[in-house]
Structure 1
Amino acid sequence: MHTAAHPDPDHPDQEHHPDEDHVVRLADIGELAAAIPSLLGFHPEGSLIAVTMRGDGLIGPTARIDLAPPSLYSGLVASLVRSLRQTDARIAVLFVVCEQADPRHEDLIRRAFAALTRISVSVWHAIGMPSAEAGVRWRCYLHDDCEGEVPDSSASEFAAAVVQSGLVTFDRREDLVRQLEPPDLNRTIKLADLLDTAIRSDRTTSAEHLAVLRDAIAAATLPTTDEEFVRFGLALSDYRVRDVCLRYALDSKEVPAAERLWLELTRSLPPPERAEAAVLLGVSAYMRGDGAMANIALEEAWSVQPGHSLAGLLYGAISYGVPMEQLRLVLTDAAVDAQIDIDGDRDSPEASDMSP
């Protein structure tokens, strides 16, 4: 879904893309404010948000950062700039969402305005509001007599497009985090024992492990039995197989089925296999524009396996604003190199029944 926003400059969380061919027009700042929970995937609290727009008027990535005390404003603004540098945004609308109005937020807006101007991003509006709920009042820091009320978005075309796509908007970020919690902790503990036993006797080749995941994604099926979860866990424990699976984040047709699988495995597998599924979930979410889920998934990978090299690399790339196309090239190279290594195993003398 493309979203076009055309707030009149004279009248004063990464975006979801359910349908790339569907254009939804947001007529004014109020409608844009009402769309923020759908753009982020949850209702923000205590947040600095930048909704970006490209030169063609289509909404680009939406960045959200937790508000911080004034002593940390410089770092907060720097993080926002790093996030937006990787986009082709030309315009941004800033939102400070905070239950209690704070006059110090004007200083935050001034700093953000100046920093974004330096990277050629024009800030059309900077809105302060207590929440993105229908009926709350908003006002613009930049323009006199620019204020209004957040409309009810439930009946909007944008909300309908989000619902039709199957995406869910959560009340809080914590609700999004809970998506990754094990649905059955006892089963996860059981799977840990089963995986420990299976790893000791596993003789499956990397190509066979990869085929298990490839077939499941092609058929859009999820594991249901302990044996299936063990097979998927074994496959992800092979780092070359995991790296080949990075390619699914780059294929818009395969992303939905692959991401559903990574989410289910993140929820159900024990560490350390859980970390591998979470990394794949994180990179998939990020590449389709869901920064909130990407950060949560990568945080989960790091928490269950501190020092995870790929999770750290990806989290750093997101934090420091590595351009999306550059990240796409890195992921492509990693997937291709891993596939070459796996193919090489099949061509090696050890893999052949023929005598040298």
Structure 2
Amino acid sequence: MRADTTLVVRTSAELVAVLPFLMGYHPHETVALVGMRDGRIEFGACFDLPPPDIDESDLRIGTRDVAAGVLRQEPELVVIVGYGPPERITRVVLRIAEVLQTVGVRIDDVLRVHEGRWWSYVCDDQECCPAEGTPCLPSDSVIAAEATYRGQVALPSRRDLVAQVSSVDGPARLAMTAATDRARSRFNGLLEADGATKRIRQAGRLAVREAEKRYRSGGVLTDAETAWLGVLLTDLSVEDYAVDRTGEQEWRAGLWTDVLRRVERVYVPAPACLLGFTAWQLGRGSLARVAVDRALEVEPGHELAGMLHQLLGFAISPAMVRRWRR
């Protein structure tokens, strides 16, 4: 997850308040690592908690993998935030801090957040970090309002984030099923014509450009247009063309979210990957992850989904890729 670096965090309380907006949802039973530079959030990563009965050797291996991902970001300093009760959080976050310090990462703070309060494992000053915890800032705090103003949203849970990329149902699904049947017949007509490969490539590129034009201007695709685009994206040359055109525009995330939710299940992988790649470039790592998971659920061997899965798993940020390109 790459953060909006114009958001300046001055205190631990502000960091706790803004983190859900950066992750896209309010975390539960998880650990977040935030890389900071000059008071600005440079990157963030979120990890599920290991099982409560995990043995020490397995925990050590897991935290080493986490440390490797953090090192790739080259942070100036790191803040570790665990979400949950102490019996689930303390052992894990302290182990992560220990491993990171061993490899030379500077730890600014180690925090725990639970039921509207936060605690610091680093600060022992009872005036600023009392034993009973410090109340979290209200939902309408200045830092939260600033994040909201910049278009960042904090959903109630990760489940709600997953729901944002789930298939539509009811009458909308019935309409898409009928539109997809017609799109398949149309596609079969291209396959039977002379120069089928060229015709499909041309039709696919036109459909991608028309979809981009529609969403860039605030419109949406019809059922027929969505189904046609979904079918055409099964052609690798069309999928590659769409991937090459992705960028850091919110309307692109809206486009591929809409297509992903509306296409029939068999056509999910391509728009799911396009949403994942777009979200990753926008710094919305949590959305990218759930989109890629949808692609792999439908087609475990999908090549682009597998590549994006590794990209996210190794915590490679868009900034790192831009540096490599230069």
TM range (shorter): 0.7 to 0.9
Shift of 1:75: 4.3
CA contact (8 A) 1:209 1:234 kept: no
1:159 aligns with 2:153: no
Please list the CA deviations of residues 124-163 of structure 1 after superposition, one character each: whole Å capped at 9, or x if unmatched.
11011215xxxx222111221252221114231x333333
Distance in structure 1 (CA, Å) of the matches to 2:323 and 2:137: 41
CA contact (8 A) 1:222 1:261 kept: no
CA 1:88/1:153 → structure 2, altered by over 3 Å: closer, same or farther?
Answer: farther
Map 1:287-326; keep pairs closer than 5 Å: 287-322=281-316, 324=318
Partner amino acid, structure 1, of 2:104: S
RMSD: 2.5
> What residue number does 1:206 align with?
201
Partner amino acid, structure 2, of 1:318: L
Shift of 1:325: 5.5
Partner-residue secondary structure (3-state), 2:283 = coil
CA 1:42/1:326 → structure 2, altered by over 3 Å: closer, same or farther?
Answer: closer
Distance in structure 2 (CA, Å) of the matches to 1:130 and 1:307: 39
Partner amino acid, structure 2, of 1:246: V
> What residue number does 2:239 align with?
242
Partner amino acid, structure 1, of 2:184: D
Distance in structure 2 (CA, Å) of the matches to 1:127 and 1:86: 22
> What residue number does 1:278 align with?
272
> What residue number does 1:9 align with?
none
> What residue number does 1:73 align with?
59
Stretches of structure 2 that go unaligned for 5 or more consecutive residues are 191-195
1:111 to 71, 75, 95: 95
CA 1:223/1:232 → structure 2, altered by over 3 Å: closer, same or farther?
Answer: farther
Shift of 1:239: 1.3
Shift of 1:48: 0.8
Map 1:9-20; keep pairs closer than 5 Å: 14-17=1-4
> What residue number does 1:57 align with?
39
Q: Which runs of 4+ in 1 moved over 6 A?
A: none
> What residue number does 2:21 align with?
38
CA contact (8 A) 2:45 2:315 kept: no
Q: Once the two structures are aligned, what percentage of the paired residues are identical?
A: 24
CA contact (8 A) 2:187 2:232 kept: no
Shift of 1:73: 2.3
Map 1:128-277; keep pairs closer than 5 Å: 128-131=112-115, 136-145=116-125, 147=129, 148-156=134-142, 158-183=143-168, 184-202=172-190, 203=196, 204-219=199-214, 220=216, 221-249=218-246, 251-252=247-248, 255-277=249-271
Shift of 1:223: 4.0
CA contact (8 A) 1:16 1:38 kept: no
How many residues end up aligned between the 2 structures?
Answer: 303
1:94 aligns with 2:74: no
Shift of 1:16: 4.6
Partner-residue secondary structure (3-state), 1:26 = coil
Partner amino acid, structure 2, of 1:46: E
